Each structure stands twice: as structure tokens, then as C-alpha cells.
Amino acid sequence: MAGQFPDWMRRKVTYTADLARTRELLKDLSLHTVCQGARCPNMSECFSRRTATFMILGGTCTRGCRFCAVHKGSPGSVDEGEPARVAEAAYRLGLKHVVITSVTRDDLPDGGANQFVQTIWEIRYRVPQATVEVLTPDFGGNKKAILHVVQARPEVYNHNVETVPRLYQEVRPQADYRRSLELLKLVKETDPRILSKSGLMVGLGESREEVLEVMGDLRKVHCDLLTIGQYLKPGDSHLEVKEYVTPDTYTFYRREGRRMGFQQVAAGPYVRSSYRAEDVFDAEDAPTGQPEKQL
């Protein structure tokens, strides 16, 4: 597939000793990452920098989003030792900013919210100097579950809308656009000190006008941070790429986002919701997702 990429999408993949060490550490601690589960194109770069986005609640998702490579099916029981192992991994990797996401667990009464809280607490204990970012599912709109995570006071609360409303039925049929906006609204209403964040994929057939409308909706619920990146087909059974969005378009989205009032907009072909997430606290280092070297 790399041969089909336009010039601005081509990048060099580097394998380093730190990449291997990070992978081995995660294996030893029996941890899942979205980097591996979702086949993220940035995995080798991030693992080489000794960073990873931890995916709690196992490696099996109860939803069947057609853009996502994470395994779908019936998950097992919740691993009570997982939060402490995530914190141990964060300590060994020397992380200053820890990102926690999860599979969607519609089989659990709280959607897995308590596992997020337990993981935040373990990180606060093991790596007290680190900031914490959570990237949660919608918890089925369960306000009690959402508030449980908010009250654990992560520095950043991320929940992705993923695409424009017109494409929801095709892209993520078990989700609801308005429900996602309500989650982000609830976070800011409950604790304005928490930075709220959301993300979009482009290249699925959306128009520029539709993306701007979503950005406007996010600002209406006081979303602070936004990521926009190119959708890449992770496997044969997933949705096709309709368009490779040009660098000029990402520049346009960054400019318009700042005009709308987002504190930071990271937009580029390889931007993902947790890519270089630690740079959110330094606007000058906001990730652009542009390949460092073109081939």
C-alpha cells in the first residue's frame, strides 16, 4: 500500500534498540497498547522514543467500528492487576505524560470507568510527577460513569468524535455523534480545569465544510484541543480510503481551528489522537504529523 501513497505520505520507518526494549517491556507486563492493537503507523517512532498509549480493559472490543483494527468479540473479565502494571510501565519508561485509552466495554455496567479511575490512581502513586490523559469511549452515555472518571482529575480528557455526522452509520454505527458531544460538554461543565480534547479522521469521504461544522460543534461544548489525521485502511475488511488529504488542507484546518478558539490544533497525515500527546503542554511543539523525511 505504501507505493500508492502520495509523496507527502511517504515516510521512513526506523527500527531501534529502544523500540525492541519498549515492546519487550509491554510483553513482560502483559499490557495492551492501542499502538499495536490499532496498527498505528506511528508505532515504531513512538516505541523508539520509549512512549506508548496504554489500552486497558483487555484487547477485545464489543463494538464493530469499520475503521478500527482492534479485535472485536466477547471480552474476558476485568484484570484487577492491570492498573498497577500500567503504572509500573509508565515508571520504567520514564513517562512524563501518560495516555490511557481502552477498548469499548458495553458488557460492563459502568463501561469500564472504574478501571480508568484505578489506573489514574496507580499512576499518581507510582509516577506522581507525570500528567495523565485519558481517551475514553462514550460509556454508552452513562453520566455516572463519565463523572467517575472526571472526578479522578486527569489533566486531559479526550473523547474522539472520529468523523462527520453523515458518515456515522457507515464508519461507527454503534456510536452517536450527539452523545459524544454531550460527553465533552459534561466534562467541561463538571471541571473546567480539565483540558478537553477530541479527534477526527479525514479521507473517509467527508467535505471540508463538514469538518468545519464538526469543529464548530466541538467549540460550542468548549473543547480545548483537537487532532485531525489521515484515515489509513488497516486491513482488507475495513473501509476504503476515499482521499489522501493534502498538507495545505491540514494547514487550513489548523488555522481555522485556532481562529475558532481551540487552544491547540494538531493536524497532519500522521497525526493521531495520542501522537506526541505530551507536546500539548507546549504549543510551539504541537505535532504536525508530517513525515520527517520523504523518500
Binding-site residues sit at: 35, 40, 46, 61, 65, 68, 274
Strands (E), the chain: 53-56, 60-61, 71-72, 97-102, 131-135, 156-158, 195-202, 225-230, 264-268
Question: What is the distance of C-alpha 25 from the center of its chain?
Answer: 21
Q: Where are the alpha helices (DSSP H) in 231-291?
A: 247-260
Q: Report which DSSP code applies to 11.
A: -
Residue among 22, 9, 1 nearest 244 (CA) = 9
Distance of CA 251 to the CA centre of its chain: 21
Q: List binding-site positions for [4Fe-4S] cluster.
A: 35, 40, 46, 61, 65, 68, 274
Centroid of chain to Cα 244: 20
CA-wise closest residue to 262 among 201, 184, 172: 184
Q: Measured between alpha carbons, how far is 146 from 143 in angstroms, rounded to an integer?
A: 5
First to last CA, the chain: 15
In the three-class reduction of DSSP (H, G, I as helix; E, B as strand; rest coil), residue 238 is classed as: coil
For 206-214, the CB contacts below 8 A with 24+ separation are: 206/163, 206/164, 206/166, 206/167, 207/164, 208/249, 208/252, 210/164, 210/165, 210/166, 211/164, 211/253, 212/256, 213/164, 214/161, 214/164, 214/165
Report which of 126, 128, 121, 147 is spatially closest to residue 136, judged by C-alpha positions. Answer: 147
